[in-house]
Amino acid sequence: MSSPPSLRDFKNKTRLEAFSDGVFAIAITLLVIEIAVPAHAGSHLLSALFGERPIYLAYFIAFMSIGIVWIEHNALTEALERVDAGFLRLNLLLLLLVAFLPYPARVMQEYLSLVDTEHGGERTAVAFFGVVLFLMSLMLIVLGKYAEREGLFGGDAAEERQEERRVTYQLAPSLVFYAVATLLGLIQPYVGLVLYVLIGVYLILPTRTVRRWLRRGRD
């Protein structure tokens, strides 16, 4: 049972939002910094750039994944009335994963770019990336559940709690999809990559807006 609001050490959410946005921005910037320029390509630069397709794909997936987590995290924190010490610590775990994502993205870029992949390193790299995506989505759901359980949305917060439910219902299927994509990545890495892209498209779509469009179309 949660403690009465008057006896709990609530925090202002402003610093949490500012710190979190900074981590998201740095993580996305690191994705770009890690992309290497083709060396000594000379007149073959165009073909060398075209040959870096796996790197561009990995960058796109990682960028979209961090962007989606930021969108959902922003929606969740906007709905909060306050935060407590537990929420701050759970939020740090989410940010730990966000800040870590450029590393598995880099591993995936490197191994998908190798010509000799007979040892299956690209499979492990794609699965490694998928595990981090799975954990990020899981932590978002945990944050929403914790906020609802501890009353961080406030006493008169029906709309805010609807936001938490929206986050849960949209992200919960992605946990299954990420798990499936990760397992398939161990068998066929490019199938896993395609699934990561499809999951990203599903998550980035504004579901309420899409429903309104569909209702208008039926009317």
pLDDT of the residue at 66: 93
* Residue 113, number of CB atoms within 10 A of its CB: 16
Handedness of CA 178, 180, 183, 185 (dihedral sign): negative
Binned average pLDDT, 10 residues per bin, the chain of 219 residues = 53 89 94 74 72 80 91 87 91 96 90 62 90 93 88 64 60 84 88 88 68 57
CA distance 69 to 72: 5
**Among residues 63, 61, 52, 58, which one has the least CA distance to residue 30?**
63
Any domain includes 1: no
Q: Are 207 and 170 in contact (CB under 8 A)?
A: yes
pLDDT of the residue at 28: 93
Any domain includes 160: yes
Any domain includes 209: yes
Q: Number of folded domains in the chain? A: 1
11, β-bridge pairs: 83
Any domain includes 92: yes
Please report which helix (H) or strand (E) contains residue 140, including its range. helix 121-149
CA distance 57 to 88: 33
Any domain includes 3: no
Any domain includes 2: no
pLDDT of the residue at 3: 46
- Residue 90 carries which DSSP code? H
Any domain includes 49: yes
> What is the domain extent for residue 53?
9-36+45-218
Any domain includes 212: yes
pLDDT of the residue at 82: 86
